[in-house]
Amino acid sequence: MEKNDKGLTRRESLKVFGAGAGFLAMGFPIKLNAQEPIRLGTLCPLTGAGGPYGPQMQEAISRVVKEMNDSGGIHGRQIQLFHEDSQTNPEAAVRATHKLIEINKVIAIMGTWASAVTLAIAPICYNNKVFDISVSGADAISDLQDDDYIFRTQPNTFVQSGVYGQFALEKGWKKIAYIAIQTPYAKTFGDTFKKKVEAAGAKVVEYLIYEANKPSYRSELTKVLGSNPEHIVIMGYSPDSIVIFKELFKMGYKGGVVGPGFAINQKVVDNVGAEVAEGIYILDPGTDPQSPAYKNLVRLLGTTDINSYAAQTYDHINLIALSLAEGKVYFGTGIRDHLRTISNPPGIEVGSFQEGMKFLKEGKKINYQGASGACDFDGKGDILSRPFIFSQVKSGKMVTIGWIKG
Amino acid sequence: MINYFIAILTFVMIYAILSLGLNVQWGFTGLVNLGHVGFFAVGAYTSAILAKLGFPFIFTLAAAVLLAALFGSLLALTTLRLKEDFLAIVTLGFSEILRLFLLNETWLTGGANGIIAIPRPIWQYIAKHYDLFYLLILSVVLVLLFLFLERLRLSPYGRMLRAIRDDELVAAVAGKNVFRSKVQAFSLGAALAGLAGVFYAHYLSYIAPDMFIPLVTINVWVALIAGGSGNNKGAILGAFVLLSFLESTRFLKDFIPILSGFRLAAVREILVGLFLILLMIYRQEGVLPEEKIQHG
Amino acid sequence: MGDQFLQYVLNGILSGGILALPAIAFSLLYGILRFPNFAIGTYITAGGFIAYAANVTLGLPIPLAFLLTMVLCGFLGVGVDQLAFRPMRERRPLTLAIVSIGVSFILENMARFIWGNDLRSYNLPVQRGMEWGGVRIGKEQLIILLVSLIFMVWVQLLLKYSRLGKSMRAVADNPMLASVKGIDSEGIIFRTSYLGAALTGAAGIMVGIDTAIDPLMGFKLILSIFAAAILGGIGSATTAVGGAFFVGFAEEVSMIWLPATYKSAIGFGMIVLVLLFRPAGLFRRTQVI
């Protein structure tokens, strides 16, 4: 081993050089090691109350990432996904979050569904500067002191109930019953809705909040029907709505029904049968089946039976990826700081990562329009009010009818 | 990496306290309590509500523990005369009705929203390594509780409780006020669950009714039985076993791909069920049997 | 409100009709085995899913699926007894109760493993209810009620007049005396486990028809079943029916005054009150075993 003039062997100088490079790599992960994968976490409800929705939510993200990685990743860096099950249980979700953040070292978490879950993991995320984006609806999420790390694609209750009120009034509904399960937004929604429609001369004749997961709702519904409502607004989850719709039908109810996508989906329609489901309205934040993003999602999942939360998680991953691509700061902070740049207007409207990347490489400003809506965020990380789409069940299929401005 | 273990250990400590409390009721005195999570909830919610109103931690802790003990006494006074398998059903009912109350009475408890931003005691002074600090405090509390309960177990009072557990009639004939002792033991167990609840609420900074479901009680039972009922060390060991089990199944899916999502959860629950059955059949005393007291 | 009340009563009768069979099964099992069998809820779930497999997957018509389900559920009940409870015949009731909780975890999650969490329905169109005098009842609900009544009557006759029934009652009343008189208690346990599970499986189909099929369907009912059996006087299959109708009635009629969010409180409330003040049940005068 020859020594060079400065007194280091080749082996030693290699070691020094290697150590130095390694040291630099640790200190500057953004620039130096282009092969370092981007670590992202999903925390969807694979089991528990959100179980019907979680698997597809996770699948949407997985398929988008696979395609992203196959086409070169984000500026050459592959995305590594870590999946955990929130079990729709805040405590389990907290433990899973610790694992995702501290063992898997993810820079972002997507897909939390239950508001209690999102609220429980929020402090861990923002204290660790990890970006979190959810589909949760509780108003409390807007008010979190979260240093802008917590975003969501689900409109908050005031927006939703306002739109429902508008829908009811536009349809000329006069005698309305409100049925909901006990959730963080059940009462706020009901109260806002009631105020809006009653100010215009309609009447909420029954206001029922019921206990979830009971085997039958015969008497609760008897009570509701006792006031002869002509229309029903239902805010429950699909297991209960299946039971409720069957009961309403048997009890001879012939009036209108409207509810969100999580209460009424294709599975519900299939379970209760075309006759029972005929005419039921679904009113959801604008999942426009004609939008490029939605069509892309249909292609990826290979089906048109997509729940509204999976449309949102498709947007979650795209938003995060485009934000990282635009800002090139591969941390939660980077996602946070660049998210509105790629999602809010102005900009060229894009509906997929590939499309967005194309324009970003040309140095242009983009405006991501998602499968779940325009995806424009306000200062608190909430979705700005936007159009809602309503569909109706006809002969066992859900058919889009029109739009309502949010 | 280490923060993950700190987090999991914190949960272990909390479940260990829950387990010790159940041990006082079941292991020491032979009382069946399938509603343990109810006292856990009372402790958590009391401390959370009072803390958000601005009361200092020491005060909220004391109030929470006292209230949990009070609930324990009330439940015990009304129901302890029942046969044990019915006592199980009734105590379960208590925790479920309490949960409904927490869920529906939004004006007090925040309802389904839960209570957010529960203040963490002396956070402002130690923000950087808070989790480690919290874990240390919990460990100290646990050690103190363990020492206290060991003394209790070895004391004449402890012997009396065991006598009641093993044969009520004999204990009564020996002149002990059986019923009063049972109520006291039950209340002590409830107080401990309340204490665990306080630490739970302030650790997570968030509680919701969904976190206080019967499954938690079942988990504590599994922990206690697995570790060894009657045995305080076993109660703590059981908490380790429980959390290790719950966390390790998480990693199963990385090795057995078909086990994802609901299948993994189903398998986990089946394993818990099998474990319960086998434990009951073969080793009812659990892993660490009750230590026989050496006399004279 | 007058005929509304009648509707509530009818609702209660329907609920009671569905609860009656599992309540009878629960009491039968308690009488013979002397512990509350928490797995009874999952026999309902099993019944619902086996019938689903028969009706939807294999395409059998509902009545055939019904019979097949009862037969198979019976074997399930026997299997559970032989594997989980038989090794523990000498143990205290609480231990067996805990074992039955373990069994319920296993059965519920086996259903979940195979079929997932999604709700399912049978190949049976939902029909408009029929109406007389201001009250409505669905056609399937009426059939469910009738079938349930037939089984109730059959079980009563079985218990009262058949040799099996008399042996069951003998073992329930006084096992020691029964064995002295030469009654083979293991054989009785075998038959009772079969019968109880078969009846409960039948209830599972009824629940599936009336509402929906999912892994939690039995768990949702277990509280009411306990209440029905306890109210009727636990261990007494004959009065369990009365308990079931009472519970069904109370749960539905209370919805007139009680906030719907506290529905579960009814069942538990009744259990607590009965156990504290009339532990032998509402209908019996003698002390419970």
* Residues whose CB falls within 8 Å of the CB of residue C118, separated by 6 or more in sequence, listed in order: A52, A267, C214
Chain B residues inside the 8 Å CB shell of C261: 100, 103-104
Whether the CB of A130 is below 8 Å from some CB of chain B: the reply is no
Give the pLDDT of residue A32: 41
Reported confidence tier of residue A35, pLDDT bands at 50, 70, 90: confident
Query: Could you tell me the residue ranges of all domains in chain C?
Result: 2-119+149-277
Q: What is the mean pLDDT of residues A229-250?
A: 89
Contact A250 C136 (CB under 8 A): yes
pLDDT of res. A402: 82
- The dotted CATH code for C2-119+149-277 is 1.10.3470
The residue of A58, A91, A132 whose CB has the most chain B CBs within 10 angstroms, and thus the best one to mutate to test that interface, is A91
pLDDT band for A31, please (50, 70, 90 cuts): very low
Query: A238, C119: Cβ pair inside 8 Å?
Result: yes
**Residue A108 in this model has a pLDDT that exceeds 50:** yes
Instruction: Tell me the C-alpha distance between A76 and C235, whole Å.
Output: 71
Which of C36, C223, C276 lies nearest to residue B85, judging by beta carbons? C36
Of A98, A119, A186, the CB nearest to B206: A119
- Percent above pLDDT 90 for chain A: 31
pLDDT of residue C288: 41
Residue bearing the bigger pLDDT, B257 or B239: B239
- pLDDT tens string B121-165: 876 666 678 888 899 999 999 999 999 999 998 898 888 888 888
Q: Is C161 on the interface with A (CB under 8 A)?
A: no
- Which residue shows structure tokens 């346990």? C189
Of B85, B94, B274, the CB nearest to C102: B274
Whether the CB-CB separation of A375 and A153 falls below 8 Å is answered with: yes
Residue A331, sorted as left (phi over 0), alpha (psi -120 to 50) or beta, turns out to be beta
With CA atoms as reference, the chain A residue closest to B129 would be A127
Task: Quote the minimal CA–CA distance from B80 to chain C in Å.
Answer: 10
- What average pLDDT does chain C have? 87
Q: C11 and chain A: CB distance < 8 Å anywhere?
A: yes
pLDDT, one tens digit per residue, over C73-84 is 999 999 999 999
Burial (Cβ within 10 Å: 0-12, 13-18, ≥19) of residue C160? exposed
Q: What residues of chain A, 51 to 70, have a C-beta less than 8 Å from chain C?
A: 51-52
The dihedral through the CA atoms of A350, A353, A359, A364 has a sign that is positive
Nearest alpha-carbon partner for C107 in B277, B270, B275: B270
Mean pLDDT for the stretch of residues B11-33: 92
Q: How confident is the model at residue B286 (pLDDT cuts 50, 70, 90)?
A: low
CB contact under 8 A, B113 and A115: yes
DSSP chain C: -HHHHHHHHHHHHHHHHHHHHHHHHHHHHHHHH-S--TTHHHHHHHHHHHHHIIIIIS---HHHHHHHHHHHHHHHHHHHIIIIIGGGTTS-HHHHHHHHHHHHHHHHHHHHHHH-S--B--S----PPEEETTEEE-HHHHHHHHHHHHHHHHHHHHHHHSHHHHHHHHHHH-HHHHHHTT--HHHHHHHHHHHHHHHHHHHHHHHHHHS-B-TTHHHHHHHHHHHHHHHH-TT-HHHHHHHHHHHHHHHHHGGGTS-GGGHHHHHHHHHHHHHHH-TT-SS--SPP-
Cα-based angle C213, C202, C45 (whole degrees, multiple of 5):
35
By the CB < 8 Å criterion, does C105 face chain B?
yes
Q: Are C63 and B241 in contact (CB under 8 A)?
A: no
Residues of C in contact with B32 (CB under 8 A): 94
Put simply, whether A46 touches B (Cβ < 8 Å) is yes
Residues of B in contact with A88 (CB under 8 A): 210
Contact across the interface for C121 and A271, Cβ inside 8 Å: yes
Q: Which residues sit opposite A42 in a β-bridge?
A: A83, A110
Least confident residue range of A57-66, A215-224, B285-294: B285-294
Chain A residues lying within 8 Å of B113, measured CB to CB = 115-116, 119, 138, 140, 184
Concatenated DSSP letters of A310-376: HHHHHHHHHHHHHHHHHH---SHHHHHHHHHHHHSSSSEEE-SHHHHHHHHHTT--EEE--SSS---
Q: Do B104 and C35 touch (CB under 8 A)?
A: no
Alpha carbon of residue B8 to chain centroid: 16
Measured between alpha carbons, how far is C210 from C15 in angstroms, rounded to an integer? 10
Question: What percentage of chain C carries pLDDT values higher than 70?
Answer: 97
Q: Which residues contact C266 (CB under 8 A, 6 or more apart)?
A: C250, C251, C254, C258
State how far residue C136 is from chain A, nearest Cα, in angstroms.
6
Residue tagged 């130690």 (tokens): B126
- Model pLDDT for residues B72-91, shown as the tens digit of each residue: 999 998 888 777 777 888 89
Residue A14's pLDDT band, with cuts at 50, 70 and 90, is very low
Sorted by sequence, the CB contacts under 8 Å of residue A290 that are 6+ apart come out as: none
Residue of A nearest to B10 (CA): A95
pTM passes above 0.90? no
Q: Please indicate whether, in this complex, the C-beta atoms of A239 and C119 are within 8 angstroms of each other.
A: yes
- Across A24-28, B96-100, C175-179, which has the greatest mean pLDDT? B96-100
Residue C256 backbone zone (phi > 0: left; psi -120 to 50: alpha; other: beta): alpha
Residue B258 has pLDDT above 80, yes or no: no
Across the interface, do C119 and A47 touch by the CB < 8 Å criterion? no
Nearest CA in chain B to A104: B1
- What percentage of chain B reaches a pLDDT higher than 70? 91
Of the two residues A334 and A285, the one the predictor is more confident about is: A334
Among A56-60, A213-217, B212-216, C17-21, the least confident range: A213-217
Q: Which of B210, B211, B276 is nearest to B242 (CA)?
A: B276
B97/C265 CB distance under 8 A: yes
- The pLDDT tens digits of the residues spanning A142-166 come to 888 888 899 999 888 888 888 899 8
Contact A252 C129 (CB under 8 A): yes
**pLDDT of amino acid B285:** 61
Whether A50 shows a pLDDT value over 90: the answer reads no
* Closest-CA residue to A136 (of A195, A77, A185, A67): A185
Contact A99 B1 (CB under 8 A): no
The confidence score (pLDDT) of residue A109 equals 96
Tell me whether C53 touches chain A (CB under 8 Å): no
Which residues neighbour A123 within 8 Å (Cβ) at sequence distance 6 or greater? B204, B205, B206
Which of these, A250, A258, A305, lies nearest to A276 by C-alpha position? Answer: A250
The C-alpha of A219 sits at a distance from chain B's nearest C-alpha, in angstroms, of 19
pLDDT of B170 strictly over 90: no
Closest A-chain CA to B204: A120
Whether pLDDT at A27 is above 50: no
**Taking residues C9-33, what's their average pLDDT?**
90
**Which chain B residue has the Cα nearest residue A55?**
B261
Chain B adjacent subunits, 3+ CB pairs under 8 A: A, C
Report the C-alpha gap between A344 and A365 in whole angstroms. Answer: 10
Most confident of A353-362, B9-18, C260-269: B9-18
The mean-pLDDT minimum among A76-85, A214-223, B49-58 falls in: A214-223
Indicate if the pLDDT at residue A110 is higher than 90: yes
Residue C85: pLDDT band by 50, 70, 90 thresholds?
very high
* pLDDT for res A64: 94
Size of interface B-C (CB pairs under 8 A): 114
Distance of alpha carbon A291 from alpha carbon A308, whole angstroms:
14
Q: Is the pLDDT of residue B284 over 80?
A: no
Q: How many CA atoms lie within 13 A of C251 on its CB side?
A: 32
- Pairs of CB atoms within 8 A across A/B: 98
Q: Is the pLDDT of residue C230 over 70?
A: yes
pLDDT at A3: 43
Alpha-carbon gap, residue B228 to B283, rounded angstroms: 9
pLDDT for A405 equals 72
Q: Is the pLDDT reported for residue C2 higher than 70? A: no
